């Protein structure tokens, strides 16, 4: 295992050259440098990178400080990150983290004195079907128990290299519970391309248009329209990006597609490239899924060897296309397509001002199609069976099937594929949920449903979703569910615009204030005002959707809030009298004058 030191200059130089010393490779170079330096970016490594890429040092620092998986201070040789989605909380992740910290004599968020280990939380790791989970040096360990924690602590104490840990410890299951057209598809690699190429580029786009395929990332934009716009846009080259930055809390279906059906995803990228005339493809892989990379690289290598990537694909002159994998580094906002493109260009993931849209001016100013993993995989079905057959399932506005990532209070969490239009109550029945109080559809930014809404349908015309489906039974406190989501948004706000940066922090403070017993009705009025501010003034969808969980639960589970309103009038969140206790003790004062005067309601008999 590497030690926490500056990488040797020769190794750093070789690493930079391996990435072509291109400024847009900055994020990839920083990730690789951190690996080389034992888990952090020593200051001495940043200047040579800036010089080699002809970038100001400030620009390198800006990128390095933006991503939560990049570290500017030393981290442990073993870096343990506990997944902290609400479903991990429900499964006891906090007690497990505390137990590990106790065993290793380390405080959460701090480096152990001997530099051996650091333990902290991270946002959802995409393992909600088998939580609680953690990442150790980027490798996942799911289904945590106290016994597993004990084993992990022992192996770290003995400084056992991760490669010597039992492979079973790192096993991640696919948990497919219900499959339909996509997950049942057994396709020979290249078969979809062989079907689409004879149609020509225009004919293939028309076939996709007939399917009425819409983006599976949640927004539901028509895929054929996006492809046609890119195909029409002038440019010396065009780009296809597969958005595998699956960061929405509670979703993990892209993880399963990438580990089980990577051929379908890559073939979908090639089909998109054929449609628009693209030469370059990127799979933007979220940092939490980095452990999938060796498998994905192996699939890409097999496709190159089979003539399915590279020059003159399947012998068609002029159809040159290849795919490279670009790693993310722990930034939820990069799921937004323009932020993702900024990240691809080696910058911090700040969403761009639009228009122009990426489809006309994207990666390095080139027409760029950004499609979700599931959307691309679905195009193989259209190529093989035709657009009309695809459109025959689902609803009028939502054709085909949808993969749901089901987690939370149910007997069988996992992946469920249904034709669009399936009712929420059907999913609950299939996954073995009982006594269900609420379902969160679409992750933290989605919709909280109360029991009277379980007849609603998963479809763009009713409940659009990227796939997260979190179940909460009657024992759960919906205030705490919303508070977890609000903390998530405050942590993930990129800070570019003030309404989101400040509004998310204020919303988090308001929820914490209620949780601490300092709430008054005026605090709910304040939250409603913040809701309007965030919706109207945020630059991107993260800010405008951040108040969703609070507003939904306030409306549908109001007693969870009102029972926390302990004061009729405004009460500061900061307990000044309590903070002065130490000073009183030091001065031996306990008389009334050494305390703050009581509030009017406290003064009442």
- Which of 46, 463, 542, 551 touches ligand SF4 (CB under 6 A)? 542
**Toward ligand SF4, which CB reaches closer, 247 or 510?**
247
Q: Provide the minimum distance between the beta carbon of 415 and ligand SF4 in the complex, in angstroms, as a whole number.
A: 28
Q: Provide the minimum distance between the beta carbon of 119 and ligand SF4 in the complex, in angstroms, as a whole number.
A: 27
- Which of 459, 500, 514, 527 touches ligand SF4 (CB under 6 A)? 500
Asked whether position 442 contacts ligand SF4 by CB under 6 A, the answer is no
Please state whether beta strands 401-408 and 117-122 pair in parallel, antiparallel, or not at all (unpaired): unpaired
Which residues in the 198-227 window bind ligand SF4 by CB under 6 A? none
Strands (E), 265-308: 280-285
Whether 428 contacts 410, CB under 8 Å: yes
DSSP 527-560: HHHHHHHHHHH-SSHHHHHTTHHHHHHHHHSTHH
**Toward ligand SF4, which CB reaches closer, 332 or 390?**
332
- Which of 183, 258, 470, 494 touches ligand SF4 (CB under 6 A)? 494
CA pair distance 498, 363, nearest whole angstrom: 26
* Number of residues written out for the chain: 605
Q: Provide the minimum distance between the beta carbon of 140 and ligand SF4 in the complex, in angstroms, as a whole number.
A: 26
From residue 11 to residue 40, the character string flagging contacts with ligand SF4 as x (rule: CB under 6 A) and all else as - is ------------------------------
Cα R_g (the chain), whole angstroms: 25
Q: Between the CA of residue 171 and those of 129, 133, 495, 577, what are the distances in Å?
A: 13, 11, 36, 51
**Toward ligand SF4, which CB reaches closer, 193 or 507?**
507
Whether 208 contacts 275, CB under 8 Å: yes
From residue 328 to residue 357, the character string flagging contacts with ligand SF4 as x (rule: CB under 6 A) and all else as - is -----x-----------------x------
Asked whether position 446 contacts ligand SF4 by CB under 6 A, the answer is no
- Which of 74, 310, 432, 495 touches ligand SF4 (CB under 6 A)? 495
Asked whether position 538 contacts ligand SF4 by CB under 6 A, the answer is yes
Asked whether position 501 contacts ligand SF4 by CB under 6 A, the answer is yes
Q: Provide the minimum distance between the beta carbon of 397 and ligand SF4 in the complex, in angstroms, as a whole number.
A: 28
**Toward ligand SF4, which CB reaches closer, 142 or 497?**
497
CA pair distance 541, 549, nearest whole angstrom: 14
**Toward ligand SF4, which CB reaches closer, 481 or 540?**
540
**Toward ligand SF4, which CB reaches closer, 283 or 542?**
542
Stretch that binds ligand SF4, among 221-229, 540-548, 557-565, 597-605 (CB under 6 A): 540-548
**Toward ligand SF4, which CB reaches closer, 389 or 502?**
502
**Toward ligand SF4, which CB reaches closer, 421 or 543?**
543
Asked whether position 496 contacts ligand SF4 by CB under 6 A, the answer is yes
Q: Provide the minimum distance between the beta carbon of 498 and ligand SF4 in the complex, in angstroms, as a whole number.
A: 8
**Toward ligand SF4, which CB reaches closer, 262 or 334?**
334
**Toward ligand SF4, which CB reaches closer, 401 or 493?**
493
Closest to 36 (Cα-Cα) out of 13, 5, 70: 5
- Which of 323, 340, 470, 497 touches ligand SF4 (CB under 6 A)? 497
Q: Provide the minimum distance between the beta carbon of 463 and ligand SF4 in the complex, in angstroms, as a whole number.
A: 23
Residues 6+ apart with CB under 8 A from 555: none
Closest to 400 (Cα-Cα) out of 374, 377, 417, 419: 419
Residues 6+ apart with CB under 8 A from 407: 87, 128, 129, 131, 250, 252, 413, 468, 469, 470, 471
What proportions of the chain, in percent to the nearest 5, are helix, strand and coil? 50, 15, 40
Q: Between the CA of residue 503 and those of 32, 352, 362, what are the distances in Å?
A: 35, 20, 29
Stretch that binds ligand SF4, among 189-197, 366-374, 475-483, 533-541 (CB under 6 A): 533-541
**Toward ligand SF4, which CB reaches closer, 448 or 493?**
493
Q: Provide the minimum distance between the beta carbon of 287 and ligand SF4 in the complex, in angstroms, as a whole number.
A: 18
Stretch that binds ligand SF4, among 6-14, 244-252, 288-296, 490-498 (CB under 6 A): 490-498
Q: Provide the minimum distance between the beta carbon of 352 and ligand SF4 in the complex, in angstroms, as a whole number.
A: 9
**Toward ligand SF4, which CB reaches closer, 380 or 534?**
534
CA pair distance 41, 62, nearest whole angstrom: 13
- Which of 7, 247, 519, 543 touches ligand SF4 (CB under 6 A)? 543
Which residues in the 38-97 window bind ligand SF4 by CB under 6 A? none
Asked whether position 540 contacts ligand SF4 by CB under 6 A, the answer is yes
Residue 87: strand pairing partners = none
Stretch that binds ligand SF4, among 1-9, 123-131, 539-547, 574-582 (CB under 6 A): 539-547
Q: Which two tokens stand for residue 119?
A: 């333990």
- Which of 83, 280, 368, 493 touches ligand SF4 (CB under 6 A)? 493
CA pair distance 485, 508, nearest whole angstrom: 9
Phi/psi at 249 (nearest 5 deg)?
-55, 130
Q: Identify the burial level of 88 via C-beta atoms within 10 angstroms of its C-beta, where 0-12 means exposed, 13-18 middle and 19 or more buried.
A: buried
For 17-41, letters b (16+ CB in 10 Å) and e give: eebeeebbbbbbbbbbbbebbbbbb
CA pair distance 572, 480, nearest whole angstrom: 21
**Toward ligand SF4, which CB reaches closer, 130 or 545?**
545
Stretch that binds ligand SF4, among 153-161, 285-293, 320-328, 534-542 (CB under 6 A): 534-542
CA pair distance 568, 577, nearest whole angstrom: 19
Please state whether beta strands 139-141 and 134-136 pair in parallel, antiparallel, or not at all (unpaired): antiparallel
**Toward ligand SF4, which CB reaches closer, 284 or 479?**
284
Closest to 289 (Cα-Cα) out of 265, 323, 257, 321: 257
Q: Provide the minimum distance between the beta carbon of 83 and ligand SF4 in the complex, in angstroms, as a whole number.
A: 21
CA pair distance 311, 322, nearest whole angstrom: 8
Asked whether position 115 contacts ligand SF4 by CB under 6 A, the answer is no
CA pair distance 587, 574, nearest whole angstrom: 22
**Toward ligand SF4, which CB reaches closer, 312 or 536?**
536
- Which of 214, 348, 361, 539 touches ligand SF4 (CB under 6 A)? 539
User: Which residues sit at the interface with ligand SF4, rule CB under 6 A?
Assistant: 333, 351, 493-497, 500-501, 538-540, 542-543
């Amino acid at each position: 295992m590497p030690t926490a030191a500056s990488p040797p200059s020769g190794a750093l130089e070789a690493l930079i050259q391996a990435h072509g010393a291109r400024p847009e490779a900055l994020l990839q170079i920083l990730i690789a440098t951190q690996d080389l330096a034992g888990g952090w970016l020593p200051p001495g490594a940043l200047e040579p990178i800036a010089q080699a890429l002809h970038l100001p040092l400030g620009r390198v620092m800006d990128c390095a400080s933006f991503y939560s998986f990049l570290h500017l201070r030393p981290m442990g040789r073993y870096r343990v990150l506990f997944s902290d989605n609400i479903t991990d909380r429900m499964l006891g992740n906090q007690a497990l983290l505390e137990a590990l910290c106790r065993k290793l004599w380390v405080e959460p968020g701090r480096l152990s004195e001997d530099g051996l280990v650091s333990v902290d939380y991270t946002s959802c790791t995409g393992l909600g079907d088998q939580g609680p989970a953690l990442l150790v040096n980027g490798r996942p360990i799911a289904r945590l128990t106290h016994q597993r924690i004990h084993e992990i602590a022992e192996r770290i104490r003995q400084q056992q290299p991760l490669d010597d840990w039992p492979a079973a410890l790192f096993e991640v299951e696919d948990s497919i519970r219900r499959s339909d057209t996509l997950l049942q598809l057994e396709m020979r690699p290249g078969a979809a391309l062989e079907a689409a190429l004879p149609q020509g580029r225009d004919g293939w786009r028309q076939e996709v248009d007939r399917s009425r395929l819409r983006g599976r990332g949640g927004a539901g934009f028509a895929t054929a329209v996006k492809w046609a716009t890119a195909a029409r846009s002038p440019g010396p080259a065009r780009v296809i990006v597969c958005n595998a930055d699956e960061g929405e809390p509670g979703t993990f279906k892209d993880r399963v597609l990438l580990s089980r059906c990577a051929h379908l995803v890559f073939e979908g990228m090639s089909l998109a490239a054929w449609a628009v005339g693209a030469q370059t493809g990127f799979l933007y892989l979220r940092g939490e899924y980095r452990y999938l990379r060796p498998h994905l690289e192996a699939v890409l290598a097999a496709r190159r060897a089979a003539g399915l990537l590279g020059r003159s694909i399947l012998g068609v002159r002029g159809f040159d296309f290849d795919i490279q994998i670009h790693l993310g580094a722990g930034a939820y906002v990069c799921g937004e397509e323009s932020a993702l493109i900024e990240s691809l260009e080696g910058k911090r993931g700040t969403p761009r001002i639009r228009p122009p849209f990426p489809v006309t001016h994207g990666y390095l100013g080139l027409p760029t199609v950004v499609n979700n993993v599931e959307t691309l995989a679905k195009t193989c079905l259209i190529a093989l069976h035709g657009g009309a057959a695809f459109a025959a399932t689902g609803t009028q506005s939502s054709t085909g099937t949808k993969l749901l990532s089901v987690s939370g209070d149910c007997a069988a969490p996992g992946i469920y594929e249904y034709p669009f239009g399936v009712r929420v109550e059907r999913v609950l029945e299939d996954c073995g949920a009982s006594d269900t109080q609420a379902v969160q559809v679409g992750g933290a930014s989605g919709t909280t449903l109360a029991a009277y809404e379980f007849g609603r349908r998963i479809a763009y015309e009713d409940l659009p979703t990227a796939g997260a489906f979190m179940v909460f039974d009657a024992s759960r406190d919906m205030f705490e569910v919303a508070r977890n989501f609000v903390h998530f948004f405050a942590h993930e706000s990129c800070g570019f615009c003030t309404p989101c940066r400040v509004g998310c922090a204020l919303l988090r403070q308001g929820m914490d204030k209620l949780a601490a017993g300092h709430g008054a009705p005026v605090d709910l009025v304040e939250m409603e005002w913040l809701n309007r501010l965030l919706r109207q003034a945020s630059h991107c969808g993260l800010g405008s959707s951040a108040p969703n969980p609070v507003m939904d639960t306030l409306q549908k589970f109001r007693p969870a809030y009102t029972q926390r309103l302990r004061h009729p009038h405004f009460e500061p969140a900061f307990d000044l009298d309590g903070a002065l206790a130490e000073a009183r003790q030091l001065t031996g004062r306990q008389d009334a004058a050494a305390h703050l005067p009581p509030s009017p309601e406290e003064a009442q008999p």
